[in-house]
């Protein structure tokens, strides 16, 4: 299976670069340990293609309205010496979208839509077994939210039979951009129709995780992006189910988001410890699974400060389905029975379709044992509600609607999309 | 089947049965030994299990799936499948259904199972179907994804069974949308798998132009490439080819020995019949005889016929005796006898006078019934005559006694004593 990544906007490109970097560093570590040829070949076939000079080229397309970010990530990839981006699979402009969703969607989006589709087609032709698209973007700014939404819609129209997952970085609850609520709501209104699944990473949560697992107290965007990329790697690296089938992207989506009205996914990853603390920590499977389950019950993506009084019977977090990827020695014998508790699922979900697990006996990165849980649950609802109510509040005051007006009939459009969400 | 029963040596029979067993086993059905079939002929209980499984698999194969050993039936399902399968195929052997014990999920007669298997193979030409079926063939196309499809099918069935009863229409609708979404996404996966196969096949065709292992092809097939690339797969493929070859050989052998096998099957049915007759007690057998109504009728008719013969003989003898006695006792014409004994005077005359010459029978043609009737009539007439004569006699006696009394009354000193007969009256 091959996954084509679309890095859209600054955030998308930076996360994408770190994602591929993490992948290759993981492969390097496994290579040192030996006995992982099949794993390596699976991983390489999934995310990389062998270039002309036998150098690994990421199956990725980089798009941004500013050229600086794209050239930066290209350079950083080259510097690693392990992999690179294909030189002809990038698209960048001179002028950014200025945190304006409408500029990204109606201006840059229209201009570069066809070009992006051509690049996708070229990349698609390199795949023997195409698994799906993975779009990486933030929805607070202009390029990722506007152009990213446009590209997603175009992909859906052009490749209607393909699988498409959008990895969305949710803006901070306060502070980043003044119109982030509008941008996010407008993006979500479009993406909920175009995409098969929306995997949401909230900046507030990522920051806290980065603080816990980082070495210094000052958290940078790079640290936060690393957290996101590690969680993505933990979910997407090769693993097998109990019946021996691979963890294809289609399998994930089939299990997690078959209902078209419920597409929001949340990722939870354990352990969340700093690199320095890993060597002093010991993990066992019951503790890891129990903690992951408690995180699910408490709607938390963080390991710290879990409320252990919450039980399945009094949990407010209803989930439709869960999928767990367990990596490390002895993963086959892990008891995941607690994830099948009927109290946390609605009764109309068939019992057999509620929980699935994939295992990989090889460790991930520096973690001897790790669990990654993808849930179709109510965790993102609170953030979404907050965002929508803020956007409604701003719209009621006609605040900043003029930003969008030159390109779009903003008031009517925003109102229509706000109603959708 | 054998049209004429020819004595076949037991070794040939063993070979024929062995051929069938091997062919079935190579076609993917549960392995079965010739010994099991032999045991079944003698109705041994040990053969019930394997034959029941085999019959269920054969029924399943011929029904729809055309796939040997596709489902793993448990015992209950096996008996149910066998019962319903044979019933739907109009297998009308009463003993077979009697020996299938659905409640206890077993069968009491291995011989009946064997007969049913034979019947099924014969009527549906199952062995031919197996030969041409892709599923039973070892040479399935690469890559083999049939087991995946089977797993998916089982998964979908389990999912359907897992669904709890919806408490509201909304829940029901959500469940439906969920399952439809699963189907939609699974179809998408299938589409991309197909795309992968097409792409890889195209790559192989382009890369191997001019190189071929088969005559009618100009490039290597995906299977050829897989074999050439992976040594272990080559060995596996060789093993598969050998297995398929052996299967074909078995089929050819079967075609030669088929007639012998069916002869053997006839002997199984004969064994069943003879055992049944031996096992029955005489009372039961007579009951069985009674159950044939025509036997009764013929017996009754024979009895009646013999009774009629003896009756006729007796009547003829009696009539002859009567004739003789009549002839001897008949009074010669003109001779006067006792006026009161009118019988002997009357009968010969009547015989001679009243019977027309044309209908006078010879002695041998004499109808006994007619003779008896005449005699009875004559007796009746004579008895009437006798009674009338007695009445006349009584009148005369009365008249005589009255005249005597009148005469004696006129003479003095004479006492009249009435006759005893008169007093008695």
pLDDT tens per residue across span B171-193: 888 888 888 898 889 888 888 88
pLDDT top residue among B326 and B192? B192
Find the CB nearest B192 among A129, A245, A351.
Answer: A129
What's the first-to-final CA gap in chain A, in angstroms? 34
A328 pairs with which residues across the strands?
A369
- Mean per-residue pLDDT over chain B, rounded: 75
C-alpha pair distances (Å), A10 with each of A4, A182, A204, B175: 18, 19, 18, 40
pLDDT of residue B231: 77
Calpha distance A186→A102 (Å, rounded): 9
Q: What is the pLDDT of residues A184-219, one digit of tens each?
A: 888 888 888 889 999 999 988 898 888 887 766 788
Give yes or no on whether A2-239 and A266-379 have one common fold: no
Q: Is the pLDDT score of B285 beyond 60?
A: no
- For chain B, say whether A395 makes contact (Cβ under 8 Å): no
The topology (CATH level 3) of A2-239 is Rossmann fold (3.40.50)
Chain B contact present for A133, CB below 8 A: no
pLDDT tens-digit map of B243-283 = 888 888 888 888 888 888 998 888 888 887 887 777 765 55
Q: Which residue has the higher pLDDT, A405 or B305?
A: B305
Q: How close are the terminal C-alpha atoms of chain B, in Å? A: 99
Give the nearest partner residue to A243 out of B151, B164, B193, using CB atoms.
B151
Look up tokens 């389950």; give the residue: A293
In whole angstroms, give the CA distance from residue A105 to residue A119.
19
CATH class (in words) of the domain with range A266-379: alpha beta
Residue A271 pLDDT class (50, 70, 90 cuts)? confident
Structure tokens at B331: 């009074």
Predicted pLDDT at A266: 93
pLDDT at B106: 72
Asked if residue B403 has pLDDT above 80, the reply is no
Is a pLDDT exceeding 90 seen at residue B228? no
The C-alpha atoms of residue A285 and residue B310 are separated, in whole angstroms, by: 107
Is pLDDT of B365 > 50? no
pLDDT of residue B290: 47
Q: Where are the domains of chain A?
A: 2-239, 266-379, 382-420
- The structure's pTM equals 0.62
Is the predicted pLDDT of residue A246 greater than 70, yes or no? yes
Which residues in chain A have their CB less than 8 angstroms from residue B186's CB?
254
Q: pLDDT tens across A336-381, in order?
A: 888 888 888 888 888 878 899 999 888 888 888 899 999 999 888 8
pLDDT of residue B76: 76
- pLDDT (tens digit per residue) in A284-318: 889 899 999 999 999 888 888 888 888 888 888 88
Which tokens sit at A303?
A: 């390991």
Span A388-420, pLDDT tens digits: 888 888 887 777 777 777 666 666 666 666 666
Q: What is the pLDDT of residue B329?
A: 60
Closest CA to A346 of B175, B155, B183: B175
* Domain spans, chain B: 11-142
Q: How far apart are CA A74 and CA A89, in angstroms?
A: 11
Q: Which of A411-420, B21-30, B408-417 has the highest mean pLDDT?
A: B21-30
What is the share, in percent, of chain A residues with pLDDT greater than 70? 95
Per-residue confidence (pLDDT) for residue B385, from 0 to 100: 85
Q: What is the pLDDT of residues B333-355, one digit of tens each?
A: 444 444 444 444 444 444 444 44
- Residues A24-46 have pLDDT tens digits of 988 888 888 777 788 888 888 88
Q: For B122-162, how does the pLDDT look when each residue is reduced to its tens digit (9 = 90+)?
A: 888 888 888 877 666 665 544 555 666 677 677 767 766 66
Q: How far is A220 from chain B (nearest CA, A)?
A: 38
- Identify the residue with better confidence: A228 or B81: A228
> Mean pLDDT across chain A, nearest whole number?
86
Chain B neighbors of A251, CB-CB under 8 A: 189
Q: Collect all residues of chain B within an 8 Å Cβ-Cβ radius of residue A161.
A: 188, 191-192
Shortest distance between the Cα of B179 and any Cα of chain A, in A, equals 7
Looking at the predicted structure, is the pLDDT value of residue B397 above 70?
Answer: yes
Q: Which residue has the higher pLDDT, A413 or B359?
A: A413
Three state DSSP letters for chain A: CEEEEEEEHHHHHHHHHHHHHHHHHHHHHHHHHCCCHHHHHHHHHHHEEECCCCCEEECEEEEECCHHHHHHHHHHHHHHCCEECCCCCEEECCCCCCCCHHHHHHHHHHHHHHHHHHHHHHHHHCCCCEEEEEEEEECCCCHHHHHHHHHHHHHHHHCCCCCEEEEEEECCCCCCCCCHHHHHHHHHHHHHHHCCEEEEEEHHHHHHHHHHHCCCCCCCHHHHHHHHHHHHHHHHCCCEECCCCECCHHHHHHHHCCCCCCCEEEEEEECCCCHHHHCCCCCCHHHHHHHHHHHHHCCCCCCCCCCCCCCHHHCCCCEEEEEEEEEECCHHHCCCHHHHCHHHCCCCCCHHHCEEEEEECCCECCECEEEEEEEEECHHHHHHHHHHHHHHHHHHCCCCHHHCHHHCCHHHHHHHHHHHC
**Taking the CA atoms of chain B, what radius of gyration do you get in angstroms?**
50
Specify the pLDDT at position B338.
46
Residues in chain B with CB shorter than 8 Å from the CB of A130 are: 192, 195-196
């Amino acid at each position: 299976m091959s996954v084509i990544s679309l890095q859209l906007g600054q955030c998308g490109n930076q996360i994408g670069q770190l994602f591929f970097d993490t992948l290759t560093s993981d492969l390097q570590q496994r290579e040192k340990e030996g006995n992982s040829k099949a794993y390596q070949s699976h991983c390489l076939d999934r995310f990389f293609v062998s270039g002309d000079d036998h150098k690994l080229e990421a199956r990725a397309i980089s798009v941004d309205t500013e050229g600086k970010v794209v050239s930066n990530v290209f350079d950083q990839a080259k510097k690693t010496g392990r992999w690179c981006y294909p030189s002809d699979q990038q698209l960048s402009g001179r002028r950014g979208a200025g945190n304006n969703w409408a500029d990204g969607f109606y201006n840059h989006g229209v201009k570069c839509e066809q070009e992006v589709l051509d690049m996708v087609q070229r990349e698609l032709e390199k795949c023997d077994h195409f698994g799906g698209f993975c779009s990486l973007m933030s929805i607070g700014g202009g390029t990722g939210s506007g152009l990213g939404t446009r590209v997603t819609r175009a992909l859906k129209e052009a490749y209607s039979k393909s699988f498409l997952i959008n990895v969305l970085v949710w803006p901070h609850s306060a502070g980043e951009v003044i119109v982030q609520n509008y941008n996010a709501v407008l993006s979500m209104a479009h993406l909920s129709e175009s995409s098969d699944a929306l995997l949401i990473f909230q900046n507030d949560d990522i920051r806290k995780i980065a603080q816990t697992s980082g070495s210094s107290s000052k958290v940078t965007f790079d640290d936060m992006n690393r957290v996101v990329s590690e969680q993505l790697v933990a979910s997407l690296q090769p693993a097998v189910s109990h019946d021996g089938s691979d963890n294809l992207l289609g399998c994930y989506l089939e299990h997690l988001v078959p209902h078209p009205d419920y597409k929001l996914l949340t990722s939870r990853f354990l352990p969340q410890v700093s690199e320095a603390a890993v060597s002093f920590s010991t993990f066992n499977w019951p503790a890891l699974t129990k903690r992951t389950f408690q995180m699910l019950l408490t709607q938390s993506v963080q390991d710290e400060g879990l409320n252990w009084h919450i039980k399945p019977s009094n949990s407010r977090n209803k989930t439709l389905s869960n999928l767990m990827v367990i990596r490390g020695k002895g993963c086959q014998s892990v008891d995941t029975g607690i994830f099948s508790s009927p109290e946390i699922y609605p009764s109309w979900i068939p019992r057999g379709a509620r929980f699935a697990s994939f295992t990989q006996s090889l460790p991930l990165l520096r973690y001897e044992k790790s669990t990654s849980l993808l849930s179709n649950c109510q965790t993102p609802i609170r953030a979404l509600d907050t965002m929508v109510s803020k956007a409604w509040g701003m719209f009621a005051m006609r605040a900043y609607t003029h930003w969008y007006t030159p390109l779009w009939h903003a008031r009517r459009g925003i109102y229509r999309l706000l109603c959708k969400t | 089947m054998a049209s004429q029963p020819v004595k076949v040596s037991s070794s040939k029979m063993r070979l024929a049965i062995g051929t069938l067993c091997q062919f079935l086993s190579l076609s993917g059905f549960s392995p079965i030994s010739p010994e099991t079939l032999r045991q079944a002929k003698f109705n041994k209980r040990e053969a019930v299990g394997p034959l029941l499984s085999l019959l269920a698999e054969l029924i399943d194969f011929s029904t729809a799936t055309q796939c040997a050993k596709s489902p793993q039936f448990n015992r209950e399902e096996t008996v149910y499948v066998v019962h319903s399968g044979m019933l739907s195929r109009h297998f009308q052997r009463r003993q077979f259904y009697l020996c299938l014990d659905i409640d206890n999920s077993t069968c009491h007669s291995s011989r009946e199972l064997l007969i049913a298997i034979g019947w099924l193979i014969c009527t549906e030409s199952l062995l031919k179907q197996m030969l041409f079926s892709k599923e039973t063939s070892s040479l399935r196309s690469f890559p083999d994804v049939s087991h995946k499809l089977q797993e998916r099918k089982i998964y979908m069935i389990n999912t359907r069974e897992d669904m709890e009863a919806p408490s509201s229409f909304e829940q029901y609708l959500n469940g439906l949308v969920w399952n439809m979404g699963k189907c939609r996404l699974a179809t998408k996966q299938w589409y991309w798998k197909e795309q992968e196969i097409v792409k890889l096949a195209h790559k192989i065709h382009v890369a191997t132009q001019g190189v071929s292992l088969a005559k009618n092809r100009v490039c290597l097939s995906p299977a050829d490439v897989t074999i050439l690339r992976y040594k272990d797969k080559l060995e596996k493929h060789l093993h598969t080819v050998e297995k398929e070859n052996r299967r074909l050989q078995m089929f050819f052998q079967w075609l030669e020995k088929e007639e012998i096998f069916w002869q053997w099957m006839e002997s199984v049915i004969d064994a069943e019949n003879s055992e049944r007759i031996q096992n029955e007690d005489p009372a039961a057998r007579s009951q069985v005889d009674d159950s044939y109504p025509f036997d009764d009728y013929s017996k009754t008719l024979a009895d009646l016929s013999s009774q009629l013969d003896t009756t006729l003989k007796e009547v003829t003898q009696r009539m002859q005796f009567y004739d003789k006695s009549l002839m001897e006792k008949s009074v010669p014409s003109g001779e006067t006898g006792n006026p009161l004994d009118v019988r002997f005077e009357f009968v010969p005359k009547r015989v001679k006078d009243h019977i027309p010459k044309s209908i006078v029978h010879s002695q041998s043609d004499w109808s006994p019934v007619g003779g008896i009737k005449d005699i009875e009539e004559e007796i009746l007439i004579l008895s009437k005559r006798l009674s009338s004569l007695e009445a006349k006699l009584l009148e005369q006696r009365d008249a005589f006694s009255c005249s005597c009394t009148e005469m004696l009354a006129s003479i003095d000193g004479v006492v009249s004593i009435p006759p005893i007969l008169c007093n008695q009256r």
